Structure 1
Amino acid sequence: MRTNKPFKPKSINTFKQNLLQWSQQFDDIVWLDSNNHRTQYSSYDAILAVDAFTSIKTDYVEAFKRLEDYQRSTKDWIFGYLTYDLKNTTEALKSDNLDNLNFPDLYFFQPKKLFLIKDDSVEIKYLSMVDDEIDKDLKAINSFSNTNPVEKPCKPIKIKLRIHKDDYFKKVNKMLSHIQRGDIYEANFCQEFYAEGSVINPIESFNKLNTISKPPFATYLKQGDRYLLSASPERYIKKEGQKIISQPIKGTAKRLQNIDDDKLLADNLVKDEKERSENIMIVDLVRNDLSQTAENGSVRVEELCKVYSFLQVHQMISTVTSRVSETMSPVEILKTTFPMGSMTGAPKISAMNIIEDLEETKRGLYSGSVGYFKPDGDFDFNVIIRSILYNQSKQYVSYSVGSAITAKSEPLREYEECLIKAKAMREVLEK
């Protein structure tokens, strides 16, 4: 049972800043911030879940079954992540590439302490065993001083490329050969940027990244000595009652300071045949995935190829919805749609096999998902892109970026798109 306490801080922005700093004392943290992108599908402006009461940590083997058992047994709020490599439990696939981050394949926890922020109010939900700590914690949060950071700022680090430019071109050309042979129509090809022997301040780095990007699905996750600092603009999937919502992104253009030039880039993105074809192919894939659990005739494309503008980039986003029966398992909906089409390609299994062959590193949490289940089985999950990953014990820092390769792709243009997507993470780490 949870104790609920409504709370209205004097300044919601100050409370949010203090709350995230206060949370650093815990080993298990999930912070989700919409940065006031109040779309029609936004349930909360921000959420903090901390301090695991129970948890599940597993490799990919029967991972979704274990998650379903855990979700059903807790019947509570649970928060966590799905790595891309859970593909190996739904299909006969493997992940043998280099992995220097070592995130468990799946991790969820039932938090003792939960803060739900909407507008200028906070709903506080503590498990009954710790509800006597609410007032003490609020006092600590409200008196927290940002002038005394949790850790000292760290020096800039030097980022290395896992795949150098010439090799990138060769790999993209191999992927184009697969497309020309008809093995695939489209695949998302990713590359890693990394630094070894490096120390960063996770909360400082996250705050910088979030300030630069202000995305609708920002995430700060801590699981022991591993961190995710994410400026994701993309929702993977949400369940709201019997309605399922998926919002894949395909199509990117950079932002410019000149208003007229910037608007021209956004207008050109809307008309770009290659970018639209990428998006539409993934929309078809998402429609097919959702149809596996949807009631007959309920899959709908509510928005097709709409351009949204963020601080760093313009993005082309589509919205696909479906309706499921009241008895449909929430985890089954995830299992039949994961990994998300925007990070794989079409046909999905062929694309994932080719991706595994051509990429140099195991994706792990990158292009996976972070989110939560409510006690009633509703859920909301993002797509882990535009993110910094950090293994503190190994002093290893990583971020990956990718682009969709289609028959119309030009290797140089794809490489330049990757650099646009990498700009914010590089700026945070190297300055």
Structure 2
Amino acid sequence: MRTTTKHKPKSIETFKQQLLLWSQQFDDVVWLDSNSHTSKYSNYDAVLAVDAFTSIQTDYTSGFVKLKEYQSITNDWIFGYLTYDLKNDAEELESANFDGLQFPDLCFFQPKKIFLIKGNTVKIKYLNAVDDELEEDLKEIHSLTECHTERSRSAKDDEVVKIKLRIHKDEYFRKLDKMLAHIYRGDIYEANFCQEFYAEETEINPLETYNKLNAISQAPFATFLKCNDKYLLSASPERYIKKKGNNIVSQPIKGTAKRSANHNEDQALKYELKHDDKERSENIMIVDLVRNDLSKTAKKGSVQVKELCKIYSFDQVHQMISTVVSKVKKDTHPVDIIQTTFPMGSMTGAPKISAMQIIEDLEETKRGVYSGAVGYFSPKGNFDFNVIIRSILYNETNKYVSYSVGGAITAKSVPLKEYEECLLKAKAMREVLEN
């Protein structure tokens, strides 16, 4: 059981900064921030969950069964992530590529302390066992200032991060030729091909790195996640899937264009993206895939496309986003909805299984957390998960830093343009790490 308290700080933005700084003392942290990108599908402006009371960490073997059992038994708020490699549980697939990060395939925890921010109000939910700590915690949170942030920095913040490529440019083109050969042969219509950028023997300050990345990108599904010595620092623009009551929403992104400081040029770039046949065909193929995935748990006739190829603008890029909705029966288990749609269509391809097999063959890195999902389940069985893209991953013990980027390959793809799109998507992460 939880005690719920409402709190109204003088400045919600200051409180958010203090809250994230305060959270760093815990081994289990999930911070989700919409950066004021509110929509009719938003539940909260920001959420913090810290300090595991119970938890589950496992590899992909029977991963969804274990999650289903944990979610049902806990019957409480649980926060965590699903890695891309849970595809091996959802389908007869495998992951054999290099993994420098070594994250567990699935990690969720039941937090002792939760802060739900909406507007100027913070709804605080503490487990009854720790509710006597709330007053002291609030005093500590409000006492934190920028000087504490300065003291939390160390020499490693100024360390030069030397980024390496797992796949070099010429090899990227060779691999894309193989991908296109699969498409021309009819094995697949589309596949999301990704490449890793990484740094070894490198130490970063996770909170500072996240704050810099978030300041650049201001993404609607930003995440700071800490799981002991492993960190996810994300500026994701994409919602994977959300459940509220019997309503399901998925919002796949396919189609990217750069921004310009010149207003007229920026509007022209946006117009070009909206009317780009190749980008539209990518998006529509994935919308069809998402519709098919949602239909596995949907009430008959309830799957609908609410928005098709709508352009949304973010600080770094313009994105083409579609919104697909469905309705499920009351007795449908929330984990079943995720299992039957996972991994998300925007990060796989069509047909989905064939695309994932070809992706595994051509990519050099085990995706792990990248192109997985992070989010939460509520006690009522509602959930909200993002797509883990535009993200920096860090294993503090191994001193390994990684970010991956990718793009959808179709018959209309031009390899040089695909490579340039990858560099555009990588820009914010690279700027942050290289200062």
Which TM-score bucket, shorter chain as reference? over 0.9
Three-state SS of the structure 2 residue aligned to 1:253 is strand
Structure 2 counterpart of 1:151, from 132, 153, 156: 153
| Aligned twin of 1:126 | 126
Q: Partner letter of residue 217 of structure 1?
A: F
Mapped to 2, the partners of 1:125 and 1:148 lie a distance apart of: 26
Residue 151 of structure 1 and its aligned partner are, at CA, apart by 3.2
- Per-residue CA deviation, residues 333-370 of structure 1 (Å, 9 max, x unaligned), is 00000000000000000000000000000000000000
| Aligned twin of 1:226 | 230
Residue 7 of structure 1 and its aligned partner are, at CA, apart by 0.2
Mapped to 2, the partners of 1:260 and 1:151 lie a distance apart of: 41
Mapped to 1, the partners of 2:406 and 2:213 lie a distance apart of: 18
Kept in 2, the 8 Å contact 1:154–1:199? The answer is no
Superposition CA RMSD, Å = 0.5
Give the gaps of 5 or more residues in structure 1: none
Structure 1 counterpart of 2:383, from 379, 383, 386: 379
Mapped to 2, the partners of 1:32 and 1:155 lie a distance apart of: 28
| Aligned twin of 1:175 | 179
Q: Partner letter of residue 175 of structure 2?
A: K
Residue 147 of structure 1 and its aligned partner are, at CA, apart by 1.3
Q: Find out whether 1:293 has 2:297 as its counterpart.
A: yes
Q: Aligned ranges for residues 244-323 of structure 1 at < 5 Å?
A: 244-323=248-327
Q: Find out whether 1:62 has 2:62 as its counterpart.
A: yes
Q: Find out whether 1:72 has 2:76 as its counterpart.
A: no
Q: Find out whether 1:30 has 2:30 as its counterpart.
A: yes
Q: Partner letter of residue 221 of structure 1?
A: L
- Per-residue CA deviation, residues 28-56 of structure 1 (Å, 9 max, x unaligned), is 00000000001110000000000000001
Q: Aligned ranges for residues 12-51 of structure 1 at < 5 Å?
A: 12-51=12-51
Structure 1 counterpart of 2:414, from 399, 410, 414: 410
Please give the TM-score of this superposition, normalised by the length of structure 1. 1.00
Q: Find out whether 1:425 has 2:429 as its counterpart.
A: yes
Mapped to 2, the partners of 1:413 and 1:309 lie a distance apart of: 20
Structure 2 counterpart of 1:210, from 189, 211, 214: 214
Mapped to 1, the partners of 2:45 and 2:401 lie a distance apart of: 29
Mapped to 2, the partners of 1:197 and 1:26 lie a distance apart of: 24
Residue 245 of structure 1 and its aligned partner are, at CA, apart by 0.0
Q: Partner letter of residue 151 of structure 1?
A: R
| Aligned twin of 1:165 | 169
Residue 158 of structure 1 and its aligned partner are, at CA, apart by 1.2
Three-state SS of the structure 1 residue aligned to 2:31 is strand
Q: Partner letter of residue 197 of structure 1?
A: E
Kept in 2, the 8 Å contact 1:193–1:400? The answer is yes
Residue 90 of structure 1 and its aligned partner are, at CA, apart by 1.1
| Aligned twin of 2:334 | 330
- Per-residue CA deviation, residues 64-93 of structure 1 (Å, 9 max, x unaligned), is 010000000011000000000000011110
Residue 207 of structure 1 and its aligned partner are, at CA, apart by 0.2
Mapped to 2, the partners of 1:331 and 1:392 lie a distance apart of: 31
Mapped to 2, the partners of 1:90 and 1:426 lie a distance apart of: 33
Mapped to 2, the partners of 1:430 and 1:151 lie a distance apart of: 16
Q: Aligned ranges for residues 339-378 of structure 1 at < 5 Å?
A: 339-378=343-382
Structure 1 counterpart of 2:394, from 375, 384, 390: 390
Residue 155 of structure 1 and its aligned partner are, at CA, apart by 1.9
Give the gaps of 5 or more residues in structure 2: none
Mapped to 2, the partners of 1:158 and 1:61 lie a distance apart of: 35
Mapped to 1, the partners of 2:81 and 2:139 lie a distance apart of: 31
Q: Partner letter of residue 214 of structure 1?
A: Q
Residue 146 of structure 1 and its aligned partner are, at CA, apart by 1.9
Mapped to 2, the partners of 1:247 and 1:236 lie a distance apart of: 6
Kept in 2, the 8 Å contact 1:247–1:319? The answer is yes
Q: Partner letter of residue 430 of structure 1?
A: E
- Per-residue CA deviation, residues 206-228 of structure 1 (Å, 9 max, x unaligned), is 00000000000000000000000
Residue 156 of structure 1 and its aligned partner are, at CA, apart by 2.9
Mapped to 2, the partners of 1:417 and 1:281 lie a distance apart of: 19
Mapped to 1, the partners of 2:5 and 2:296 lie a distance apart of: 40
Three-state SS of the structure 1 residue aligned to 2:147 is coil
Q: Partner letter of residue 11 of structure 1?
A: S
Runs of 4 or more, structure 1, over 3 Å off, are none
Kept in 2, the 8 Å contact 1:18–1:145? The answer is yes
Q: Partner letter of residue 232 of structure 1?
A: S
